[in-house]
Amino acid sequence: MTIQVFENEEQVALAGAALIAAELLQDPYTVLGLPTGSTPIGIYRELIRMFENGVISFAEASAFNLDEYIGLEPDHEQSYSYFLHSNFIDHVNFRAENIRLVQGIAVNANEECEQYEQEITDAGGIDLQLLGIGRNGHIGFNEPAAWFEKTTHVVDLAADTIAANSRFFANEDEVPRQAISMGIGTIMDAEKIVLAATGSSKAEAIRAMCKGRIDPACQASILQIHPNVTILLDPAAAALI
Ligand code: F6R
């Protein structure tokens, strides 16, 4: 686990974008794993800027998303599909056929999970998985539990996560109660992982992830045994390590 602490949130975003750009320059066929949330927005903004300046291209790259709410149409403003399209995908030159976003409105969510996992395998696995982290240490929607879930699966969202995400909805009742998430095994299979976190609300989760025991109560703690993880932090998120 390589931990880098930057001066501020903007520097974290530039560093995250630089790692992804480096990957794309080395391998134009890179398979990316993409998160939503507030943390990656700056990274996506910088990647768009690099694309517009001709530094990088996504023409041969492909992407899978980390998770999605169950019950939201892809064009619902709070769906993760909508988020990724409007904050990133639609502003660069991915080919439509190289984008696979897990469907939260699939008729059979469990079948969608199996199909999604298979498609990741068929694509040769994720080369670079970008991650944020929840205040409770979740990665994707892998919530604190008694075990680590291996593959893409249906999740009941934790009360803490529903409360944290309610800021994007009219009220807490509108936040979906379930989601589909890549499993911890899916994430751990990625060749490289870049996790970004900023702000004091993430400090305890970062401490548990980096310094705590590997324990499913902090799902991100398993990243300690991934061979290629880079953690990008601002001083507030790094305050307890
Ligand atoms: C997003 C995701 C979540 C977020 C985490 C942090 O696809 O899976 O694990 O990365 O909840 O969210 P933000 O960045 O909004 O603090």
pTM: 0.96
Pick the atom of ligand 1 nearest to 131's CA. Answer: 10
Q: Which atom of ligand 1 is nearest to the CA of 199?
A: 16
The full set of domain ranges for the chain reads: 2-233
Q: Which two tokens stand for residue 144?
A: 């604190």
Output the CA 134–ligand 1 centroid distance in Å.
6
Query: Is 168 a residue whose pLDDT tops 90?
Result: no
The Cα-based distances of 94 to 36, 37, 74, 240 in angstroms read 17, 21, 18, 39
| DSSP H/E element including 64 | strand 62-65
Q: Does any ligand 1 atom lie closer than 6 A to the CB of residue 81?
A: no
Contact 193, 232 (CB under 8 A): no
| C-beta of 36 in contact with ligand 1 (< 6 A) | yes
Mean pLDDT, range 101-109, rounded to an integer? 90
Q: Which two tokens stand for residue 2?
A: 């390589």
Q: Is the CB of 141 under 6 A from ligand 1?
A: yes
The rounded mean pLDDT for the chain is 96
Average pLDDT over residues 113-134: 97
The CATH number that domain 2-233 falls under is 3.40.50.1360
**pLDDT at residue 34, as a whole number:** 98
Tens digit of each residue's pLDDT (9 = 90 or more) over 175-184: 999 999 999 9
CA distance 125 to 87: 24
Q: What one-letter code names the amino acid at 32?
A: L
Residue nearest to atom 15 of ligand 1 (CA): 37
Q: How far apart are CA 166 and CA 161, in angstroms?
A: 8
pLDDT of 164 reads 84
Nearest atom, ligand 1, residue 140 CA: 8
